[in-house]
Structure 1
């Protein structure tokens, strides 16, 4: 019976040490969990910022599309005007009318799209 009591006491001692170890492990796991929570919060903030950046880039891209369309339109109009000016000066030259723009007419270049 005495041996049985000694065995039980040793088992209880080991169980107490195991409880201490488990408590330390649980404490470390709690600290790891807290760190992971902080990291997750930071990642959430970063993700929100990235979403804002992406939205801004989308708006910039839309504006660039508008600018590009306007530039294309302006280029077409400039080509049309260039052609009209050339036609006007050609007509004036045919009917022998001179203007103070005549020298500039000789240097005109037709813009093609």
Structure 2
């Protein structure tokens, strides 16, 4: 009988959504890309935590947020905003750049 009560409680908790983080609960880190510049140059993100990187292209030309180490890329037209959701990252520093503007470089630091 105890097993049935435990199972019923577990189902009630799941149905109520208790213990589950929604997409709205994850940290959102904003990055601006503008004609060969990535702002900020040091992008601090939480390590070992799911988060969303929101990228806005405020420039007049297309950009491409890219990281070989993270195996991620996102191309954006002028004026566009998009996001990349990261499940988790190990603590460390990762190089990122704008593939369309090779001089635009930044570091993503997970800590």
TM-score, reference length from structure 1? 0.26
Q: State which structure, 1 or 2, has the greater radius of gyration over its C-alpha atoms.
A: 1
Higher strand share: 2
| Higher RCO (Cα < 8 Å, 6 or more apart) | 2
